[in-house]
Structure 1
Amino acid sequence: MLFYLTTLNLVHVMCETVPSAERDNTCSIETLTTIDAWNHNDFLCRNYILNALYDSLYDVYVVCKTAKELWDSLEKFIVGKFLDYKMVDSKSVVSQIEDLQKIIHDIHVEGMVINESFQVASFIEKLPHSWKEFKKFLKHKRKEMTLEDFIVRLRIEEDNRKNERGLVSSMETKVNVVERSSSKQRPKF
C-alpha cells in the first residue's frame, strides 16, 4: 500500500496535517487552493487505503477522518496483531513462526524496529503449551541465539517430535483374542 500511495504521490498526506489558513482570516487564493488540493489528496489517500482493507476491517476504520489518522490506527493494528498472536498445538510450530515473521516484516515496513533478541525472546514465549520443556531449555540459551539459530533448533525439535510420534504409533501393542470352547480344551494356536 505504501508503495502504491508513493507512486500516486499521496504519501505526504499521511505525514502532514491540513495546511491552515492565515490567522487574520484573509486567505489568499493560493492558500485556499493549497488547502483544497491537500483535502482532495487526503480524500484520495484515505479511500485508497480503505478500499484495500478486508470488508470486516473497513467498518472498523471508516470512522477515521484523515489518511494520517487511518494510517496511524493501522500501524497500531499490526503491533496488536503481533502481541495477540497465540501459537497452537494443532498446527506446525515452524509454520506459525513463519506467520509471526510476516507480521514482523509488516512492522518493519511501517518503520518500527524490533531487535533480533527481542524477536527470539517473544517467539519463545509464544510457543504452545506442549513445548513447555523445550521452551525452558531455550530460555537459558536465548542470549546466545540468533533468529536463524532459533528457527533451526525449532525445525530440528519439530522433526524429532514427528519421528517420535511415528515410532510410537508403529510400536503400538496389538492384542489377540483367544476363545476357549466350552469343553475345557486347551486353545489351539
Structure 2
Amino acid sequence: MLNLAKFLFEDAPKLIEGEGDVESVSSVEVWNHSDFLCQNYVLKGLVDSLNNVFCEKKTAKELWESLDRKYKTEDAGAKKFLVGHFLDFKMVDSKSVINQVQELQMILHEIHGEGMTLSESFQVTAIVEKLPPAWKDFKNYLKHKRKEMNIEELIFRLRIEEDIKSSERRLFYLVATKTNVVEHGQSSKKRTFSTSNKKLNM
C-alpha cells in the first residue's frame, strides 16, 4: 500500500566519487528514509523478543533475508518432522483401527497444511499398508480390489470390518465362558456324586 515492498529486495544506492551533486545526495537520502520506514514496518510486526534480535540489521533487505533464512529453515524442519512421523506411524492390534486411521488423517492434514499435497489414492494406499497384523487378510482383500476407493469409502469398509471383528470377539468370549461354566459345572457334579457314593459305601 505504501510502495515500500521493493526495499525488501533492493540494495542501498551508493554515491560515486565525483557525483556528489545535490540531486544524487537527495535521492540517496530519500531511499534511506523509505528503507528506514520499510524496516520499521517489518519490525513492528514482530513480537518484542524478536524485535530486539533483528533491530540491529542495517537495511530492510538485510532484515528480510535474515528472517527468511531463519523461518525457511524452521519450516523445512517442520516438514521433515511431519513426513518422518507419517512414515514411522504403525497401527497396532491393541487399539481401534478407526481411531488409528483418524490419527493418521490428522498427520496428513498437517502435511497438507505445510503445502505438501498427497493424492487421495496415495493416502488410501498408505492407510491400507499400515493396517495392523491381525488385519492381514482384509488388507490383501483391499489390495486386490480393482475399483479404486476414496478415503470415505475406505473408512466405511474399515468400520464395518471392525464391527464384524468386535462381534466375533464377543461371540468367542461368550462361547468360551459358557464352555468353561459347563465344564466346571460337570466336574462339580462329579465331585458331588463321588462324595455321595463314598457316604453310601460307608
TM-score, normalised via structure 1 length: 0.66
Partner-residue secondary structure (3-state), 1:66: helix
Residue in 2 aligned with 1:33? 36
In the alignment, does 2:120 pair up with 1:120? no
Determine whether 1:151 maps to 2:155: yes
- 1:19-168 paired onto structure 2 within 5 Å: 19=9, 21-22=11-12, 29-30=32-33, 33=36, 36-37=39-40, 40=43, 44=47, 66-141=70-145, 143-168=147-172
Equivalent residue number for residue 56 of structure 1: none
State how many pairs are aligned.
154
Larger radius of gyration: 2
| Equivalent residue letter for 1:181 | T
Return the offset for 1:40. 3.8
Query: Structure 2 stretches of 5 or more lacking a match?
Result: 17-27, 51-68
Query: Deviation of residue 155 (structure 1)?
Result: 0.2
Contact between 2:12 and 2:32, CA under 8 Å: does it hold in 1?
no
The answer to whether the 8 A contact 1:46-1:67 is kept is no
* SS of corresponding position for 1:144: coil
Cα separation, partners in 2 of 1:36 and 1:25, compared to 1, 3 Å: farther
The 1:170/1:183 distance shift into structure 2, 3 A limit, reads closer
Closer, same or farther in 2 for the Cα pair 1:89/1:29, shift >3 Å?
same
Task: Please say if residues 93 and 158 of structure 1, whose CA atoms lie closer than 8 Å, have aligned partners that are also in contact.
Answer: yes
Q: Distance in 1 between matches of 2:103 and 2:48?
A: 28
Counting helix residues as a fraction of each chain, which structure ranks higher? 2
One-letter amino acid of the structure 2 residue matched with residue 162 of structure 1: S
Aligned to 1:9: none
Q: Under a length normalisation based on structure 2, what TM-score does the superposition of the two structures give?
A: 0.62
Residue 95 of structure 1 aligns to a residue in which SS? helix
Q: Secondary structure at the match of 2:87?
A: helix
Do the aligned partners of residues 29 and 23 (structure 1) sit closer, same or farther apart at CA in structure 2, a change above 3 Å counting?
Answer: closer
CA RMSD of aligned residues (A): 3.5
